[in-house]
Structure 1
């Protein structure tokens, strides 16, 4: 009965807030993290509100498109702000701030990630947003994504040098695979969340394959970045990869396992492998929960263990 009432309420507002020209999306999350040691692994021991989002987007009849997305815990809160034009399915142009197509794991909304947190290679090597021009096209299963951006993420700084990105891939009903390659010419760039600083001309490259079947699903992705550490004669190489396998047990329940590797060549940051177990349950059309267990094997320091939970509303 509750499911039927929830569906009726959703349908009632569909025509007003879910049209092609004006689509409103809202995400609310309540999270909890716990490390079995008194440290900051997996966020330590804390409650949070995840990634609360308010998103407005649409496609207009004259082939224009737009999007304004706000993350309400950030200042400034704007994380997506762009206008685009659809010349055809084979060529679309977007101008503004958005996710760069540099790694597949960054693509989905935080409401639709396999695990509560994205694989660590995203935060280590890629900015979550970039400002510039994006070019997209799809034809006969093949697709491309390319972009030219400031290369400085949310900072909106500019040193007259750009980030160039490219992706080519192929999709079938069940499979999606492709290659990513990027070059960030920005000097003195802070590399992801690592605290490392690039002297400039940082390369990022990788590959992925994703399977989405009726019973099983999964993704494997590799990403690597090479750059000179600023004010040193050292060349750093960050390597990350993950493999996720999931099982659709029922219409409401998914079970997952992931292996997440991250390593550094010369900077002294510790290499590690992380194993995650996950359960996702869709309680209603709008409400779901996620539970993750994490075990991290560190190269030098003691291994670490933690759990996370996410209770979310997504409209």
Structure 2
């Protein structure tokens, strides 16, 4: 028993040492300290961030540790997370382009699009990109609040779809309307069903105490037959419906966000019976100085046909020693009446340019 406890503590000790050494770098200036405080970062931006051509790089090393010897949150392992190179820019006559290439564990994914600005408020894009289904899916993997997104993102949707989308603004409302294959980038070559995924989102902001409260609604219909449903392991026989809403408020020292989504479809694996998946998260964060954030999240995911409803609670610490480097550390607790409470930690060390 003593040996097991000691072995289980080793990753925690390593992570604590990592953060202690990282905190020694607090004397390093951040981007907000003023011009000239990060000369190497500024040199990179001057060379590679332009209007016609901009280079982006994201490198991540992730660590996961389950306190039980099982596969909770991925068991006990290291991963390279989202490792990618991003090329984008604007060219003459209001056209835009973007290509993101994912490597290693995500080498099958590519985000490639071409766009056109009709005016300052309206753009159309076509290619492979995020389908604007969920606010939680929107941020880059390098800008998420926690090591991983809320679980409903993976359970309900593909992170990339192939198609076209219209983005714009009219009065106080912003909108995103899209038509996609509905089978993700993996099913792109075999998409011969002549059916599409239709998506729509409207959102706007309301001023609150000098800041903005963003509110939005999303809906989608995927008519592609026998389409897989995210990473849930389920297949939709025919039409699949998706809808949800979100709130997001960010002030100088704290932020809160919440999103509720639901999808229903006839599940092939359950004799074409109606399956309903429901997801929800509520997140709060506090900025402790210019380089630290403390976060808390409640993450809920439920399947109607699968007795696998899960409440998950997360606490997080984000540390930014410079404008290009980020550390994230998460503690995760998942109560389970049958199997007992599951606990684990997750961390990511990243470079994002």
Return the TM-score normalized by structure 1.
0.95
Deviation at 1:6, TM superposition (A): 7.1
- 2:291 is aligned, of 237, 246, 252, to 252
Cα distance in 2 for residues equivalent to 1:6 and 1:235: 58
- How has the CA–CA distance of structure 1 residues 299 and 147 changed in structure 2, closer, same or farther, with 3 Å as cutoff? farther
Aligned partner of 2:263 in structure 1 is: 225
Match of 2:203 in 1: 169
Unaligned runs of 5+ in 2: 1-26, 31-35
SS in 1 for 2:104: coil
Report whether the alignment pairs 1:85 with 2:116: yes
Distance 1:9 1:235 in 2: 56
1:47 matched residue in structure 2: 78
Which deviates further from its counterpart, 230-239 or 94-103?
A: 230-239
2:331 aligned counterpart, secondary structure: strand
Q: Does 1:312 align with 2:350?
A: yes
Task: Tell whether 2:228 aligns with 1:197.
Answer: no
| Other-structure match for 2:59 | 28
Contact 1:272 1:299 in 2 (8 A): no
- The whole-number CA distance in structure 2 between the counterparts of 1:145 and 1:105 is 15
TM-score, normalising length: structure 2: 0.85
Task: Give the aligned partner of residue 15 of structure 1.
Answer: 46
The alpha-carbon deviation at position 53 of structure 1 amounts to: 1.3
Q: What value does the CA root-mean-square deviation take over the aligned residues?
A: 1.6
Deviations 1:85-118 (A, max 9, x none): 0001332110100000101000000000000000
Is 2:132–2:199's contact at 8 Å kept on the other side of the alignment?
Answer: yes
Q: Which runs of 4+ in 1 moved over 4 A?
A: 74-78
The residue aligned with 1:297 is 335
Which deviates the most, 16-25 or 111-120?
A: 16-25
Q: CA deviation at 1:43?
A: 0.7
Q: Is the 8 A contact 1:271 1:299 kept in 2?
A: no
Determine if the alignment matches structure 1 residue 185 to structure 2 residue 216. no
Q: How many residues were matched structurally?
A: 314
Structure richer in helix, relative to its length: 2
